[in-house]
Amino acid sequence: MKEQHNLLLWKAVFVLVLIGLGFGIYASSKSIDYTWRWERIPQYIISVEPKDIRSPFDGTVQSVDIKNHSMVVLPDQGGNPFVIKKFDKANVMSGDIVFEGDPLAQVNGWRVGPILWGLITTLKLSFVALIFAMIIGLFTGLARISDNPALRYFAITYVEIIRGTPLLVQIFIFYFFIGTILNLDRFTAGVAALSVFTGAYIAEIIRSGIQSIHPGQMEAARSVGMNYFQAMVYVILPQAFKRTLPPLAGQLINLIKDSSLVSVISITDLTKSGREVVSSTFAPFEVWFTVALMYLVLTGSLSWIIQKLEKRLSASD
C-alpha cells in the first residue's frame, strides 16, 4: 500500500513538472510580446487551397472547354502547345493573349505541403542511409576483430578518421569533392555521407558486442563442426545483436537527427523546408515547434519499435 502511495505521489510530481514547463513556455512567449499564428501552419503540411496552373510561355489561348475542363494554349514562338487536361476554374477565355507565368486556371483539392514533403524526404534519406550504415558497420566491425592485419588496420583507420572529423565537413567533402568526381546528385551524396559517418559508430558498437561474448561460445561452435563464418552468423552475432540493441537504437536515432545537416547542400529535407516556410510565414516559433514535433515523432516511433523488438528478443531467451 505504501509503495502504491509513493508511486502515485511521484506520478503527481511528474505531472506538476510538465505543467510548470508548459506554463514557463507560455510565460516566456508573453514576455517577448510574440503573437502566435498557428492558423498559418496547417496549409504548409496539407494544403487545401486552390492551385494555380500558370502559362509556361507567351502565347494565345486556342480553346477553353468548360464542359470537359480542358484548355489548349499555343506558344508565340512555335512549338508544342500547352495542354491542360483538367481544371476546376478557368481564368482566361478562348483567344486571350497570355504571358509566361500568367494564371490560366485553378485546380481544387488537397495536396502535400512543403513541410510534409520535407518530412517525406527526411524519411527516405534516413531509411536508405540506415540500411547502408548497418552494412558498413557490420563489415567494419568484423574487420576490426579480424586476424588479418590489413583488414584490421583499414578498419581502424576508417573509424578514427570518420569519428575524428565533423559530419558537416564530411558532407561538404562528399558533395563538392567526391560528388564532383563521381557525378553524384545531392541526395546520393547526402546518403553516402550519413552512411559512412554512422557506419563508423555502428562498427564500434558491433565490435564491442562481439567481444563481450565469451570466447567459449566460438570454441563450442567450432567443436561441433562449424567453420568461422557459420559460428559467427549462427552463434556469435545473434547474441551480440541482443546486447548491442540499445546503443544501436541510440545511434539510429542520432542518424535521423543528423540528417538535418544535409540541408546545407540544398536537399529539401524537413529542416530546409522549415527555413523556407519561416521566410514566407514570418512565424518562426510555430514552424520550428512543428518541425521539432515531427522529428520527435520519427525518433519516438523508432525508439518504440526498438523497445518492442528488445522485449520480443528477451522473451525468446
Domain of 68, CATH number, reads 2.40.50.100
Q: Is 256 left (phi over 0), alpha (psi -120 to 50) or beta?
A: alpha
Clarify whether residues 180 and 298 are in a common domain.
yes
Rg of the chain taking only CA atoms, in angstroms: 28
pLDDT at 267: 86
What's the full length of the chain, in residues?
A: 317
Residue 263 located in a structural domain: yes
Same domain for 75 and 167, yes or no, is no
Beta bridge partner(s), residue 47:
111
Based on the structure, what is the number of domains in the chain?
Answer: 2
Within this chain, do residues 300 and 182 fall inside the same structural domain, yes or no? yes
**Residues ≥6 apart with Cβ < 8 Å to 32:** none
Same-domain check for residues 78 and 147: no
Say how far apart CA 53 and CA 91 lie, in whole Å.
10
| pLDDT for the residue numbered 5 | 72
243 three-state secondary structure: helix
> Do residues 207 and 86 both lie within one domain?
no
- Rounded to an integer, what distance in angstroms lies between the CA atom of residue 43 and that of residue 21? 29
Same-domain status, 193 and 100? no
The answer as to whether 88 is a domain residue is yes
Do 145 and 231 lie in a common domain? yes
Q: Could you tell me if residue 10 is inside a domain?
A: no
Of the chain, the end-to-end C-alpha distance in Å amounts to 33
If asked whether residues 287 and 263 sit together in one domain, one would say yes
Task: Write out residues in the chain with pLDDT < 50, as ranges.
Answer: none
**Which residues, including other chains, have CB under 8 Å from residue 168's CB and lie 6 or more apart?**
261, 264
CATH number of the domain encompassing residue 241: 1.10.3720.10
**pLDDT score of 1:** 63
User: Is 50 buried (19+), middle (13-18) or exposed (0-12) by CB count in 10 A?
Assistant: middle
Q: How far apart are CA 9 and CA 30, in angstroms?
A: 31
Report pLDDT for 245: 85
Q: Which domain holds residue 88?
A: 51-108
Instruction: Please tell me whether residues 122 and 235 are part of one structural domain.
Output: yes
Instruction: Supply the pLDDT for residue 137.
Output: 92
Look-up of cell digits 566460438: 218
